[in-house]
Chain A
């Protein structure tokens, strides 16, 4: 059984560490400046329009929110499923999930047409709206995970960390169900309208969150020259493989279900064959680079001990995640609504036509700003609080 781990703040003060922090802060500031510019000028400076109403900021935001839920995986495995080998990583798992969620929410908020009306969103609730539920689920998640983190860190409170972990697990599964259902409940659009999106988003969260977790774990251990044994990485590698397979399974079932009935053939032809950028993103980036290649990198026998292959696999999973969310969110809106079945339709409002969207620099900067804001929070917290284990040596069984 593993000994009780000892935790310590990251102590590095190299130019590399501070340089990284300053770079991240700079990108975050530029991102928020871009959001301010969008707010002043209006959304016409973005690529979004009256047909594609959600764009690149939403791809970034949903990635971060979904990954936030999944980043809590290792804490759940340690507290709820009593897997002692993951316990040393549980604190960082909680910190990262809060950081990612804050980054994602910042993007969503700053992309609103009226971000100054945050107080309205917090005081006026329409309880039939899945969006309103999510406002409660997201803010509740931060509170719950902060409490959970404290219970894990306070020795006298350890016995409460398991029930808190269970509650946090239930909450985050509900949260990701809510995020998937933002799209799943959209009955009017052929790209969505599926209960499958909720469980698919949950498995996506496992994979995306773990990929970000692995990269930041390796980065912080390297920055502080801490000892990390290969056995730990091997476990994370296997988990990543399992979650990637899960995502692939849901993607296949989702498209097979849509392909079966002829009513959705046009939509499937659009995404899988004729959709231009969406088809390339789907097959080349989501399936090829984002699913199959990471699976090979994770499972190839001669790469089992290669850290580089795990880093590459994690980066590719994140790349695939962005491609997948781009296809779901923007590809789903690009496909025209079928208001007049059986007719060839045209109008000044893009009826019957594929809707175009090309993201502007402002949106990209806002998205990057939220992402780096999340990384910045995580890297700062592990410097201020004893979150990271001092070392992860080979366990003695």
Chain B
């Protein structure tokens, strides 16, 4: 038995309107849904990498650290004269002495490519920025040279260009009056991806050694993650919650 309501035929005009509206809605929404599904699919298939370095200080002599610094200078074309307080130092040799035992070790120190970089937070123009793959860089086109990033960096990783520059290299454009730091050899990474080897790592990993391991911290099968899983690694100033992409062993 039909109820009163079901017996009433929908008016043709209203039916046409509802059909039209449904068709329009499907046309508008469907591509969005498809796009969402497809983008979601690629996201899971190729999760964005986070490039990092593992530095084994036990495997590095003072000469190895010097080699890192020299390689970086050659790769990027920066110089630092002895005793100059205004020259750039993208990477530096730090000597650590244990006050009790007197034990001495050396390590290379550079931009730690933080997940939560204070330099990016404080930069007024957004010239300091972090790429999707975690590399922290300076856009020299919009850096105004205020040096607030240098005040904020917990690792003293950045240098201000105090002098006019000559003979710049194509892979590392620089500018007087702006700030710069280690790029993790981003030009090599953009060329070679996961197979890239930053210049500092290349300099020390001679003869089958791997004192500096480059790799994707998001890839559980990468060498860097395997080594970290096995031996652990120290984040410098870990208490600040910056989650740097550089890890040290032997500290």
Chain A residues close to B by CB (< 8 Å): 39, 41-44, 48-51, 53-54, 112-115, 117-118, 120-121, 124-126, 128-132, 135, 182, 185-189, 333, 337, 339-340, 342-351, 356
Chain B residues close to A by CB (< 8 Å): 80, 82, 85-89, 92-99, 109, 118, 120-127, 142-148, 150-156, 158-164, 175-179, 236-237, 240, 251
Q: Are B93 and A43 in contact (CB under 8 A)?
A: no
Identify A113's interface contact among B99, B144, B156, CB under 8 A. B144
CB distance from A281 to the nearest CB of B (A): 20
CB distance from A349 to the nearest CB of B (A): 5
> Residue of A at shortest CB range from B104?
A344
Q: Are B144 and A114 in contact (CB under 8 A)?
A: yes
> Residue of A at shortest CB range from B236?
A339
Q: Are B125 and A124 in contact (CB under 8 A)?
A: yes
> Residue of A at shortest CB range from B151?
A186
A126-B124, A340-B94 known; A188 vs B118 contact (CB < 8 Å): yes
Q: Are B109 and A51 in contact (CB under 8 A)?
A: no
> Residue of B at shortest CB range from A117?
B144
Q: Are B144 and A185 in contact (CB under 8 A)?
A: no
Which residues does chain B contribute within 8 Å of A128, judged by CB atoms? 121
Q: Are A185 and B82 in contact (CB under 8 A)?
A: no
Identify B154's interface contact among A54, A339, A343, CB under 8 A. A339
Q: Are B147 and A53 in contact (CB under 8 A)?
A: yes
Identify A50's interface contact among B121, B144, B152, B160, CB under 8 A. B160
- Bound CA–CA A118/B146 (angstroms): 11
Which residues does chain B contribute within 8 Å of A345, judged by CB atoms? 94-97
- Bound CA–CA A121/B144 (angstroms): 7
CB distance from A133 to the nearest CB of B (A): 9
Identify B85's interface contact among A51, A114, A340, A344, CB under 8 A. A51
Q: Are A129 and B122 in contact (CB under 8 A)?
A: yes
Q: Are A351 and B94 in contact (CB under 8 A)?
A: yes
A125-B126, A344-B97 known; A120 vs B144 contact (CB < 8 Å): yes
Q: Are B125 and A43 in contact (CB under 8 A)?
A: no
Q: A42-B162, A121-B125, A345-B97 are in contact. List 5 more A-B contacts (CB 8 A).
A: A50-B88, A51-B85, A117-B142, A187-B240, A343-B96
Name, among B87, B145, B151, B159, the residue most crowded by chain A CB atoms within 10 Å (CB to CB): B151
Q: Are B97 and A185 in contact (CB under 8 A)?
A: no
Identify B109's interface contact among A333, A344, A347, CB under 8 A. A347
Q: Are B95 and A349 in contact (CB under 8 A)?
A: no
A113-B146, A337-B154 known; A351 vs B109 contact (CB < 8 Å): yes
> Residue of A at shortest CB range from B112?
A339
Which residues does chain A contribute within 8 Å of B95, judged by CB atoms? 345-347
- Bound CA–CA A48/B163 (angstroms): 12
Which residues does chain B contribute within 8 Å of A41, judged by CB atoms? 164
Which residues does chain B contribute within 8 Å of A186, judged by CB atoms? 151-152
Identify A333's interface contact among B151, B158, B236, CB under 8 A. B151
- Bound CA–CA A348/B176 (angstroms): 21
